[in-house]
Amino acid sequence: MYDIPQRPRRNRQSAAVRDLIRETHLTPGHLIMPLFVLDGQGRREEISAMPGVFRLSEDEVLKEVGACVQVGVRSFVLFPAVDEELKTPDGSYGAHPSNFYLRIARSIKAAFPEVMLMSDVALDPYSSDGHDGLVVNGEIVNDATLPLLAAQAVAQAKAGFDFIGPSDMMDGRVGVIREALDEANFTQTGIIAYSAKYASAFYGPFRDALESAPKSGDKKTYQMDPANRHEALREAELDADEGADFLMVKPALCYLDVIRELSVHMDRPIAAYNVSGEYSMLKAAAAKGWIDYDRAMPEMLTSIHRAGASVILTYFAREFAERYQAGNLPR
C-alpha cells in the first residue's frame, strides 16, 4: 500500500456522499426568465438565432408566465420588439402611456401578482438610431439621455414593474432614476443595475430578436472594454452609491472573474446575465451532437452561481426548472 494520507476521492464515492458536501445549490428561485414581447394577439414568433425562444404577444406571454410559475420560476424580465414606425430619435414611445410593453406588464401583474417583474430601461428598443442613448451629430450624448431614461422608469413603475433595469450604461443614470422614482412615490420600486455591461460579441441573437442593432457605429463608447476587470468594480461602486439594489454583470460566461470580484467586494446582491449568444452556442452545439446538452446546460448555470451570482437572467430558466422539478438534473 502507498502512504497517501489524504484521499479526497472518499468524498466523491457515491451520489449520496456528493450530495452531502455539495457547495453550490442552484434552484429555480435564483433564475429570472427573459421574455420578448410584441404588440397584438395570437402571435408567437420563433427567433431563428435562438431555438426555442419566441417573441410573444400579450395572450401568449401570459401562457408562458403561467407555465413558468408552475415549475417554480417566479421572476421575469421583459424586452419589447417595437415596430420601426414607432421608433424616433428620442425613443419617446418608451414612456408613452399607449406603449404595449406597459400594457403587457399590467396584464402580467394582474394575472400573477406574486411574480417579480423586471423592466428594461434604455433607448435602443425605441430609438431610430438603435443606440442606448440619444444621438446628436453622431455622438451618443450622456446627460441629455438621463431624463428620457427616468421618464421610462417612472412609466414602468406605474405599470407595475417591481424592479427597473437600466441597461444603457450612461453615467449617472441610476441616481437620476432613483430620484425620479422617489419623487413619484415609487420608493419600493427597486433597481437592478447593469453595472458591468461589456461591449460583447455575444449579444448578436438578442439584437436580431428585437431588431435593435445600431444603425451606425458601435456601443464601445458606453459599454465596457472586455479587457477590463477593475473598471467593473468602479462602475459597481458608483451604481451602489447612487441607489442600485442589485448589481449585474453582462455577459456571464466570459466574465466569471468579474462576477467573483463584485461578489467579494460589494454589499449588494450580484446578478449575471447568461446572454443570447451563450444560449445559442450551447443549443447549436447540442443540435450537432457535439455536446451533452442535459449535462452542459445545468453545468453552465451552476458555474455562474458558483462564481458569486445570487441571481441569473437566463433563457434556460424554464428548462432548468422543469428538470429540477422532475428530479432530472445530473448528480
What separation in angstroms does the CA of 252 have from each of 66, 71, 151, 166, 201?
27, 24, 29, 17, 12
* 8 Å CB contact between 306 and 283: no
Q: Which residues carry out catalysis?
A: 197, 250
Between CA 98 and CA 110, with CA 104 as vertex, the angle to 5 degrees is 115
Give the whole-angstrom CA distance, residue 221 versus residue 11: 49
What separation in angstroms does the CA of 325 have from each of 22, 50, 64, 71, 269?
19, 24, 17, 6, 25
Between CA 114 and CA 122, with CA 120 as vertex, the angle to 5 degrees is 160
Residues 6+ apart with CB under 8 A from 80: 36, 37, 38, 99, 100, 101, 120, 125, 126, 210
- Phi then psi for residue 235, to 5 deg, are -60, -40
Q: For residue 71, what is the DSSP state?
A: T
The three cell numbers of residue 55 are: 417573441
